[in-house]
Structure 1
Amino acid sequence: MTRTTRLVILLVAVLLLGGVGTGAVLYAAHRSGMRDEQQANGPTVRAGTVTLRPTADRPLLVRNLAWGPHRDEIATVPADDPQGPRTVSGVKCLRFHAAAGTGICLQAVHGRLTDTYRAVVLDSHLHERHRFPAAGIPTRARVSPSGHMAAWTVFVSGDSYAGTNFSTRTSIVDTRTGAIDDNLETFRIIKDDRPYQAADINIWGVTFADDARFYATLATGGRTYLVRGDVAARTLTTLHQNVECPSLSPDGTQIAYKKRVKGASPDAPWRLYVLDLRTMKETATAEQRNIDDQALWADDSTLVYALPGDYGSDLWTVPANGTGTARRLMTSAIAPAYLN
């Protein structure tokens, strides 16, 4: 073999290897781009414009948990096609809720040594209107039906409601002015028709009736209570025992909540119930699994809530009247909000 022949063979080999390498890079880039659009065995996810304004197709907003570059972003899907393609916003939240063109987004701020947290009030275009430091790990968030008020709860210590070794901080803000009640524990408590004070009070899980009235959970003395809150009077009045993370129905007549049931594991103590506020009658839903979420009402008869899933959480739905069966609504999603 001549020297010239050897050089030609070497040149061809180099060109072939370069072509293979370039092809591999292009293929990997293509696959990466595909993952931006279609998660493996998961939903289609596309970047686009997300609005908090109600539209004709009644969109459903969620925190997207599908694995990929858009994980944790607020996403929207048509409410009648929740398994369909998701449009993601670029805005990341740990907890989220929205109503009437206003959103509340609880975020982590990653530092070199530790994380901090903040609550951000968003306008209809998901632009920041107000920002507040949050005292701990985000866990619950709600906006009033008018969009004029927002509330959030964080864990100040501990990270689970299952035991007793935790402390919460719940705040309410007027989204129009930015005026904030930073700690609902400063409200006057009326328990069993008498003023009540204690050192072990915790309050969490606000759900709004309107801009002046709300419901929440109050814990004290090893028990939990449904309380009715009055923003102007700064009072919390107990109504019913063994209620956690209440959620008011759109017509204002029912509360969905998680209830501790006898015989359940201390690590999984809750089942999903509904309380009729007129009769105080409790109804167990058909969902028999442990529920550690603040359920959402899709309408006056249907509940939506999160359960553990392959990528964090999936959304499930069940009738509120105790009939039917639970069914999966969306995979890889949490923190739903319907824009009515």
Structure 2
Amino acid sequence: MNRTTRLVILLAAVVLLGTVGTVAVLRAADRSGTRDQDQAGGPPVRTGAVALQPSGGRELLVRNLAWGPHRDEIAAVPADRPAGPRTVSGVKCLRFHAAAGTGICLQAEHGALQDTYRAVVLDSHLHERHRFPAAGIPTRARVSPSGHLVAWTVFVSGDSYAGTNFSTRTALVDTRTWAIDTNLESFAVTKDGRPYHASDINIWGVTFADDHRFYATLATGGRTYLVRGDVTARTLTTLHRNVECPSLSPDGTRLAYKKRVAHASSDAPWRLYVLDLRTMTETATAEHRSLDDQALWANNSTLVYALAGDYGSDLWTVPANGKGTPRRLMTSALAPAYLG
């Protein structure tokens, strides 16, 4: 084999290797584009109009967590087909809830040195009505059944409810006047029938009964309590111990909540329970895994909540009566709200 022949073979090998590399890159890029379109192997998405007062059947709105160009956008699916294609809105939220044509969207504003946060009140077409600065990392959000009140909780220090080294700030806004209570810790507290004052009080996890009454968690002295709040009187009254992130049933008779249980891991201490407000009887649900979420009632008999998943969180569902078994409702989703 002479020198010329060797050079020809070498050049042919270089060209072949370059072609193979180019094809591999193009195929990888094509697969990546497909994953963006199909949300990383999850359900397909499509852009479109998302409304908080749907004209068709009942809908489920969520924060879409699947990887791709529409991650963190609020997405809608038919409530009876939660695994179907998602219609994404273009509106990104870290936490979200909606009722009666009003939405609350907690967002991050990414700065050069640090992130800041804001709470944005949305109208029925997801357009901004008003915004407020948020004091820390978003963690909970709720809208009253009428849409007249919104509340949100942020961490102002620490980033987990599991330990004791954290501080929260919960704000409440009347969307009719834009009057705001920036910190529910300013409400007068009655604990065990007596006025109570302490410097370590934290309030979080509001759930509304109506435009005057709500429930939330109050923490003090290393314990947590369910409190009933009165917006007009600006009071908080303890009702039950060891209740975190309550969620009121549509008929107003029960609360779903996370409860710390004995012998659980210190970083995963909670189980999902239901409290009958008339008898104060607790019922453990069939979900035995620890969850750090404010559950949502899909109806008067079924709970929806988030657990860790491949792309952040998946939504699960379980009966509220302690029977049945948990089942996955949606992959790559968080912050659900049922509308219609």
> TM over 0.5, yes or no?
yes
Q: Distance in 2 between matches of 1:177 and 1:24?
A: 59
Shift of 1:37: 2.7
For residue 151 of structure 1, what is the aligned residue in structure 2? 151
Q: How does 1:83-102 map to 2 (within 5 A)?
A: 83-102=83-102
Shift of 1:36: 3.6
5+ unaligned residues in a row in structure 2: which ranges? Answer: 1-15
- The answer on whether the counterparts of 1:57 and 1:78 sit within 8 Å (CA) in structure 2 is yes
Change (3 A) 1:174 1:25: same
For residue 328 of structure 2, what is the aligned residue in structure 1? 328
- The answer on whether the counterparts of 2:254 and 2:274 sit within 8 Å (CA) in structure 1 is yes
SS in 2 for 1:185: helix
SS in 2 for 1:35: helix
Q: Which 4+ runs in 1 deviate beyond 6 A?
A: 16-29
Q: Distance in 2 between matches of 1:224 and 1:22?
A: 60
Shift of 1:29: 6.7
Q: Distance in 2 between matches of 1:152 and 1:200?
A: 19
Whether 1:107 aligns to 2:102 is no
For residue 184 of structure 1, what is the aligned residue in structure 2? 184
Q: Distance in 1 between matches of 2:312 and 2:210?
A: 32
SS in 2 for 1:299: coil
SS in 1 for 2:34: helix
For residue 124 of structure 2, what is the aligned residue in structure 1? 124
For residue 138 of structure 1, what is the aligned residue in structure 2? 138
Task: Report sequence identity in percent.
Answer: 83
Q: How does 1:60-75 map to 2 (within 5 A)?
A: 60-75=60-75
- The answer on whether the counterparts of 1:307 and 1:314 sit within 8 Å (CA) in structure 2 is yes
**Bigger Cα displacement from structure 2, 33-42 vs 82-91:** 33-42
User: What TM-score do you get using the length of structure 1 for normalisation?
Assistant: 0.92
For residue 43 of structure 2, what is the aligned residue in structure 1? 43
Q: Distance in 1 between matches of 2:271 and 2:323?
A: 15
- The answer on whether the counterparts of 1:55 and 1:339 sit within 8 Å (CA) in structure 2 is no
- The answer on whether the counterparts of 2:36 and 2:67 sit within 8 Å (CA) in structure 1 is no
Could you say what the CA RMSD is over the residues aligned between the two structures, in angstroms? 2.2
For residue 194 of structure 2, what is the aligned residue in structure 1? 194
- The answer on whether the counterparts of 1:153 and 1:205 sit within 8 Å (CA) in structure 2 is yes
- The answer on whether the counterparts of 2:117 and 2:133 sit within 8 Å (CA) in structure 1 is yes
Whether 1:338 aligns to 2:338 is yes
Q: Distance in 2 between matches of 1:310 and 1:36?
A: 16
Q: How does 1:200-219 map to 2 (within 5 A)?
A: 200-219=200-219
User: What TM-score do you get using the length of structure 2 for normalisation?
Assistant: 0.92
5+ unaligned residues in a row in structure 1: which ranges? Answer: 1-15
Shift of 1:39: 2.9
Letter in 1 for 2:219: A
